[in-house]
Amino acid sequence: MAINLVLVITVAGLLGLAIRAFMPHREKLGIVVLPALAVIAGSLGWAFAMWVGISPDSLWGWVIAMGLAAGVPVAAGILLPPRRDAADAALWESLTR
């Protein structure tokens, strides 16, 4: 099972890097934000799948882990840039008064 977790972490990190490459406004995110979120989500998905009793040899553990590893960074890549723009605008407004 441990080697499967290493594979999940590696594939999730690569998936996060690939997602970052295709996200709009990626310059407003750090270079490791989306890959890190992918690794965290994929690892937690794999741990959850093992905790509920899914076999490490089953395809469902991979589906859960990679689904989360893809979904969480996409959601973060969509939600974070507008929030950063708003925070930057508010900070600029408070600094220029």
Domain residue extents for the chain? 2-95
- Report d(CA 3, CA 90) in Å as an integer: 46
Question: Contact at 8 Å (CB) between 43 and 8?
Answer: yes
pLDDT tens for 17-71 read: 999 999 988 888 889 999 999 999 999 999 999 999 999 889 999 999 999 999 9
Predicted TM-score of the model (pTM): 0.88
Please tell me whether residue 97 adopts helix, strand or coil conformation: coil
Nearest to 74 by CA among 40, 47, 35, 32: 35
d(C-alpha 41, C-alpha 72), whole Å: 7
Work out the number of other CB atoms within 10 angstroms of the CB of residue 31: 11
